[in-house]
Amino acid sequence: MEQETDNMRSNKICKNRREEAALFAWPWGNLHSFKYLLYGPLVARVLYAVYIDGEVKNDDWCLHILMLSGLRAFVHQLWSTFSCMLFVNRTRRINQQGVEFDQIDAEWHWDNFLILQTFAASFLYLSFPSLANLPIWDMRGVICCLMLHMGISEPLYYWLHRLLHSSSLFQQYHWLHHSSKVLHPYTAEHATFLEHILLCVVVGIPTLGTVFIGYGSIILMYGYFLVFDFLQCLGHCNVEVFPHRLFEAIPLLKYLIRPPTYHSLHHSDMGTNFCLFMPLYDKLWKTMNTNSWDLQREISSRTNSRAPDFVFLAHIVDVMSAMHSPFIYRSFSSIPFSAKPFLFPGWPITYMVMLVMWAKSKTFLFSFYYLRGRLFQTWAVPRFGFQYFLPFATEGINKQIEDAILTADKIGVKVISLAALNKNEGLNGGGTLFTNKHPNLKVRVVHGNTLTAAVILNDLPQDVEEVFLTGATSKLGRAIALYLARRKVKVLMLTLSTERFAKIQKEAPVDCQKYLVQVTKYQAAQHCKTWIIGKWMTPREQYCAPSGTHFHQFVVPPVIPFRRDCTYGKLAAMRLPDDVEGLGTCEYTMERGVVHACHAGGLVHFLEGWKHHEVGAINVDQIDVVWEAALRHGLKPL
C-alpha cells in the first residue's frame, strides 16, 4: 500500500516533468489523426506496383507491412470488443470499475506503436534486401523463434521492465502506462516512445534472429507479431478467460502463460509480476505475487455479479447509432453520436446483426457507472426505433420490456427507468401495462417524464408570455400546457382533435383555461418566438416561425435545424453529479457526463427513495418537486 501511494505521488510529479524526459513524446504526436498519412509512401508504392505491373508481387514488402499492420490493429479491435461486451464477461471482470473518459482520451492514440514498427520494418527491408525474399513457410523457423523468444526476449523484457520501475525511470517514463486505472487491451500499447523503441528490440530478436540464421518465413513474421499482440491484449483485457481447472490439470502452464489476473496484480502491486508472457521468470527471480493463482481461481470461478441499484432501459435508435457502442468503437462511443464517414462501411453488417437480434436476442447490459457507492446500469432492448412503429412488433417489444422489468425485480433492482419509445403511450400506456399486470412489483417502474417536463419548462425564459406547442396532446405536451396555463402563459396548442384538446383544457383550473388555445395550423404561430416541439417538423413547417425563434424540443429524433436565423435547443437533458465514477460512454447525442432527462428522472426517483411508480399521465403537481430534488442531488441543467 505504501509503495502504491508513492507511485501515485510520483505520477503527479512526473506529469509536470514529462516534457523534460527525452523520447517521452511521440514524434508525430502533434499530427493527431493526420498521422495516418505517414503510411502514404507505402500505400503509394503498392498502388504504383499495381499501375505499372498490373498486380502486386508476393515479395512486395510494402504490401506485407501494410497488411500486417492492419491485422495487428484488427487483433486489438477484437480484444477491445470482447473486453467491452459486459453482457458476455461481467462475471469475470477483474477490476469492476469502468474506464473513464480521461483514460480513453489518454489511450486514444494507442496505435502509435504500429507506425513506429512500420518505420522500423521499412528501414530493415531497405537495409537488408534479402528480407524481401523469404519463403512462405519453414517449420525450423518456428522452433528457432520460440527458443530465441523464451531464451532471450523474455528475460530481456523482464529486466527492462524492472529497470523501468526504478525510481528515476518510472517517474520519467513508465508512470504513463500505469496511469490507466482500469486495464483494457489498448492499455497494452499505452506507453512512451522510448518504451516502444525498447519493445522493438524485444520483438526483433526472435524474428530477425531466425531470419539471419536462415530459417525465416513470411508466415513466421505474420504469426509471431499477431500472437505477440494477441497475448499482450489478453494480459490487459481485464477479463479472466482461463478456467482455473486448466492450471490445476496442467501445473506447468503456470510458468508458461500469463493470465489476465496475473498481470492485473502487477498494476495493483507494482513490485511483482514483471514478466512478459511467462511467469517462469518471476518465479526464478522471486518477484511472483503470492496471490496470483488464488485470484485467478477466485475470478474464474465467479458465477454472479453485483446486482445494480438502478437500471435505465434504453433501446437502439437506428442502424448508424447502433455502432455508437463501446464494444464496437470505444473511442467513438466516448463522444456524442453523429454520423461519420467511417461508419458507412459497417452499415450492411450492422443491418444483418439487427435482423439476427430481431429474430433471437434478449435485453442486454450495455454500460454502467457508479454514484455514491451505488451501481447504475443501462440495459438495451434489442429493438431499433423503426420497429416500435410496426403494429405486428408491438407484442414482442412489450414482452422484451416486461421480461427486463421482471428480471430487475428478481435480482433486487430498486428503480427501472424506461427510455424514449419503451414508454410510448400507444405501446404500453407509459408503463401502466406492466404495473397493472404485476401489481406486486418491488422494483419501481419510472418513465422519468416528470423531470423531462421540468427541464423543458425551466429552460423557457422567465418572462415568456406565449408559446407554441406541437405534440400538444401527448403525455409531455399535456403536462407542459397545464403547467404553463397555471403560470398565466398563453399556450397555442397545435392539434386537430378538438376532443383531446377540450379534455386537457378541462383539467386546468377554471380561471386558467382561457390560456389554452387550440390551433390547427403552423401559421397561427407566425408571431410567436418560443416554440416547443414535440412532433417532427418539416423544413417548410419550420419556416412558419418568425426570425429569432428558439425551438425547444422533446421530439425523438430531434428536428434537423434548417433556419439560420433561429436557434435550436437539444433534447431535454441534465448533467450528472460531479462524483459520478466509471463513466466512459456518451448517451446518444448527449455530451460527456450528460444524460437524457428521463434517465435523470429515474435517477432522482432512486436517490429520493420514492416508493411509487411513475407511469401513465404526468402529475403536474410533481414537476417542481422533482426539479428541486434533482438540483438537491447534484444534477445540473445544461
State pLDDT tens for residues 20-42.
689 999 999 999 999 999 999 99
DSSP string, 212-276: HHT---HHHHHHHHHHHHHHHHHHTSSB--S-HHHHHH-GGGGGT---HHHHHHHHHSTTS---S
Give the number of other CB atoms < 10 A from CB of residue 603. Answer: 27
H, E, C per residue of 91-127: HHECCCCCCCHHHHHHCCCCCHHHHHHHHHHHHHHHH
The continuous run of DSSP H or E covering 315 comes out as: strand 310-316
In total, the chain counts a number of residues equal to 638
DSSP 8-state secondary structure symbol assigned to residue 137:
-
3 state DSSP class of 65? helix
Q: Of the given ranges (16-25, 552-561, 588-597), which has the lowest mean pLDDT?
A: 16-25
Question: What pLDDT does 489 receive?
Answer: 96
Q: How far apart are CA 246 and CA 335, in angstroms?
A: 40
The string of pLDDT tens digits covering residues 384-443 is 999 999 999 999 999 999 999 999 999 999 999 999 899 999 999 999 999 999 999 999
The continuous run of DSSP H or E covering 581 comes out as: strand 580-581
Question: What pLDDT does 49 receive?
Answer: 83
Would you state the cell numbers that stand for residue 385, as one nine-digit string? 426505433
Statement: residue 315 has pLDDT above 60? yes
Report whether the peptide linkage leading into residue 637 is cis, meaning its omega lies within 30 degrees of zero: no
Question: What pLDDT does 59 receive?
Answer: 58
Where residue 48 falls among pLDDT bands split at 50, 70, 90? confident
Q: How far apart are CA 568 and CA 243, in angstroms?
A: 54
Statement: residue 116 has pLDDT above 70? yes
User: What is the mean pLDDT of the segment spanning 242-254?
Assistant: 96
Given a contact cutoff of 8 angstroms between Cβ atoms, the answer to whether 574 and 635 are in contact is: yes
H, E, C per residue of 493-522: EECCCHHHHHHHHHHCCHHHHHHEEEECCH
The alpha carbon of residue 554 and the mean position of all alpha carbons in its chain are separated, in whole angstroms, by 25
Question: What pLDDT does 20 receive?
Answer: 61
Q: How far apart are CA 262 and CA 99, in angstroms?
A: 20
User: What is the mean pLDDT of the segment spanning 11-17?
Assistant: 46
Give strand ranges (E) for 385-449: 415-418, 444-446
Contacts of 151 (CB under 8 A, 6+ apart): none
Question: What pLDDT does 343 receive?
Answer: 95
User: What is the mean pLDDT of the segment spanning 232-243?
Assistant: 98
The CA-based angle 255-186-170, given to 5 degrees, is 70
The string of pLDDT tens digits covering residues 161-208 is 999 999 999 999 999 999 999 999 999 999 999 999 999 999 999 999
The string of pLDDT tens digits covering residues 82-96 is 999 999 999 999 999
> What pTM was estimated for this model as a whole?
0.92
User: What is the mean pLDDT of the segment spanning 129-154?
Assistant: 95
Question: What pLDDT does 6 receive?
Answer: 41
Owner of C-alpha cell 401559421? 523
Where residue 4 falls among pLDDT bands split at 50, 70, 90? very low
CA dihedral 208, 211, 215, 220 (to 10 degrees): 60
Given a contact cutoff of 8 angstroms between Cβ atoms, the answer to whether 271 and 3 are in contact is: yes
Q: How far apart are CA 261 and CA 238, in angstroms?
A: 7
Helix, strand counts (H, E) of the chain? 27, 15
